[in-house]
């Protein structure tokens, strides 16, 4: 009897299962997927931050609007304007919303309508004006920054994904600001005066596009930086170089604006006669003077940005359409008012009755503003990146040059005071503020040189070669 085991067919390995869907690309699995996972939650905290910051700013705007109304009633009679009492025509809430828009650099647009036959084609004149109240903007940025940190407190401690909380806050913040902009419009009728060619009405309101775009951009940068604070810690040398440069560069930009603003206040304190004459511009007693002081303080950072640009070798310009003229720089500085009678427009500096010449010697002290700001930015960049040798520190410090220049470019754009008038196809515009191109160019030079000095000084007492992994970098 045979004892051989029965024969079986040869074993064949099973075919691998076919996935129901094709594999996702690496971009989707590494970036899109985790991003969507983060964005599924946190909207409640984002709404609290966005609504809370806007509420605080609106309360500040209400206080400013109340002060405006009380002060204007002291020095401007109710019948001084053809529209009547300005504080009654534009109510307290509307004035507060206008101020809230100016906190974010949103322009106020006016449409001036004329009677039929007064204007060709029956068109109206469009007027736009923008003045960013940068001290209030600084408060908004700080609140959004802290709000971003709070919104991301439950996220993972390291990585870039918590920065998406800034986009959540920015989206809600911009939508709320846009809704307020639609509420803020006002239509002012103009009474008919016999024998006078006056407009029939003036419609004033914030720019609808700007009311969404600018708050979104401001909130995304500020809240995103807060959400990422302390969470980025790249190990590779290039990553630490870039992150250290960004961290030191944007801080150097706002430090330059802050130091120049304080310098402006010091100059005002050392010129009491001129300061007193400025405070006496508005009649009516103490309340108009308080309004003048508060309004001036709100735009002191605007002046500080211009002074910082001029201190680096740039200039504060007066521009109309495509023509620009430097009115404040080391070589062009107002020295007084000249008598325009008998002088042709070409003989006047910038077509203005102002005597422009080299800046007084004492104003050269403002050179310390970009010097101190860039050295501090380079110092911070080298320390945050963990540099331990002077060469590495200088290189890391010099990396602030481009972020510093871009930061000052953004601040210079916000610091400008401008306006435009359009009718049919004719457009006339003008502005006063730092020159953008010159500001960027000189800021790159200052950032590279001052940052390198600060970075080298930061590692004077450090030991060990190269760049060590340091603590997480706060952007």
Written as one string, the DSSP assignment of 282-333 is: S-SSHHHHHHHHHHHHHHHHHHHHHHHHHHTT--EEEEETTEEEEEESSSSE
Answer yes or no: is pLDDT of 339 > 90. no
- Which whole number is the average pLDDT over 346-369? 74
pLDDT tens digits for range 152-189: 887 666 667 777 888 999 999 999 999 999 998 888 77
Answer yes or no: is pLDDT of 59 > 90. yes
* Model pLDDT, residue 374: 96
Q: How confident is the model at residue 144 (pLDDT cuts 50, 70, 90)?
A: very high
Q: Which distant-in-sequence residues (6+ apart) come within 8 Å of 295 by Cβ? A: none
Candidates 243, 258, 254, 207; CA nearest to 101 is 207
Answer yes or no: is pLDDT of 18 > 90. no
Question: 259 and 308 in contact (C-beta within 8 Å)?
Answer: yes
Q: How confident is the model at residue 41 (pLDDT cuts 50, 70, 90)?
A: confident
Rounded to 10 degrees, the C-alpha dihedral 55/56/57/61 comes to 90
* Model pLDDT, residue 347: 45
Return the structure tokens found at 269.
């304190």
Return the structure tokens found at 435.
């020159």
* Model pLDDT, residue 22: 55
Edge-first strand listing for the sheet containing 417-423: 186-189, 201-206, 108-113, 125-131, 417-423, 426-434, 316-320, 323-328
Answer yes or no: is pLDDT of 128 > 50. yes
Answer yes or no: is pLDDT of 346 > 50. no
Candidates 436, 452, 442, 429; CA nearest to 382 is 452
Q: List beta partners, residue 187.
A: 203
* Model pLDDT, residue 114: 73
> Lowest mean pLDDT: which of 185-199, 248-262, 379-393?
185-199
Structural element, H or E, at residue 134 = helix 134-151
DSSP assignment of 161-219 equals GGGHHHHHHHHHHHHHHHHHHHH--EEEE----TT----SEEEEEE-HHHHHHHHHHHH
- Which whole number is the average pLDDT over 430-439? 90
Rounded to 10 degrees, the C-alpha dihedral 262/253/454/458 comes to 100
Answer yes or no: is pLDDT of 147 > 60. yes
Q: Domain map of the chain by residue range? A: 39-231, 237-317+364-475
Q: What is the percentage of the chain residues whose pLDDT exceeds 90?
A: 39
Return the structure tokens found at 85.
């009492």
């Amino acid at each position: 009897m045979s004892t051989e085991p029965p024969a079986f067919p040869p074993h064949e390995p099973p075919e691998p299962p076919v996935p129901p869907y094709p594999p996702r690309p690496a971009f989707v699995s590494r970036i899109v997927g985790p991003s969507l996972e983060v964005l599924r939650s946190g909207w409640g905290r984002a709404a609290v931050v966005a609504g809370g910051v806007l509420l605080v700013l609106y309360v500040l705007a209400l206080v400013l609007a109340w002060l405006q109304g009380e002060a204007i009633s002291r020095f401007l009679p109710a019948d001084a304007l053809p529209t009547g009492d300005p504080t009654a025509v534009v109510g307290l809430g509307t004035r507060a919303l206008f101020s809230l828009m100016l906190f974010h650099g949103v322009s106020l647009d006016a449409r001036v309508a004329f009677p039929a036959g007064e204007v060709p084609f029956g068109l109206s004149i469009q007027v736009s004006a923008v003045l960013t109240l940068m001290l209030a903007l600084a408060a908004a940025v700080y609140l959004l920054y802290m709000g971003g940190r709070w919104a991301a407190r439950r996220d993972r401690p390291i990585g870039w994904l918590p920065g998406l909380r800034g986009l959540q806050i920015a989206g809600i913040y911009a939508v709320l600001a846009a809704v307020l902009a639609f509420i803020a419009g006002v239509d002012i009728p103009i009474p008919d005066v016999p024998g006078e060619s006056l407009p029939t009405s003036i419609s004033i309101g914030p720019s609808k596009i700007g009311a969404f775009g600018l708050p979104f951009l401001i909130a995304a940068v500020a809240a995103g930086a807060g959400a990422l604070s302390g969470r980025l810690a790249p190990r590779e040398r290039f990553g630490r170089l870039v992150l250290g440069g960004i961290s030191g560069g944007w801080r150097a930009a706002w430090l330059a604006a802050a130091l120049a603003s304080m310098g402006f206040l010091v100059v005002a304190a050392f010129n009491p006669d001129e300061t007193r004459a400025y405070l006496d511009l508005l009649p009516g007693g103490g309340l108009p003077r308080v309004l003048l002081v508060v309004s001036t303080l709100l735009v002191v950072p605007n002046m500080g940005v211009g002074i910082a640009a001029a201190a680096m070798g740039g200039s504060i310009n007066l521009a109309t359409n495509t023509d620009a003229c430097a009115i404040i720089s080391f070589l062009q500085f107002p020295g007084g008012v000249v008598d325009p009678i008998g002088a042709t427009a070409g003989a006047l500096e910038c077509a203005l009755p102002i005597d422009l010449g080299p800046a007084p010697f004492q104003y050269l002290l403002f050179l310390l503003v970009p010097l101190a700001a860039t050295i501090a930015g380079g110092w911070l960049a080298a320390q945050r990146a963990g540099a331990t040798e002077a060469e590495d520190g200088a290189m890391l410090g010099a990396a602030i040059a481009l972020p510093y220049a871009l930061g000052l470019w953004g601040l210079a754009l916000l610091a400008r005071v401008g306006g435009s008038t359009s009718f049919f196809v004719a457009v006339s515009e003008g502005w006063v503020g730092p020159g953008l191109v010159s500001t960027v160019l000189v800021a790159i030079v200052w950032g590279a040189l001052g940052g390198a000095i600060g970075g080298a000084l930061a590692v004077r007492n450090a030991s060990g070669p190269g760049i060590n992994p340091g603590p997480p970098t706060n952007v």
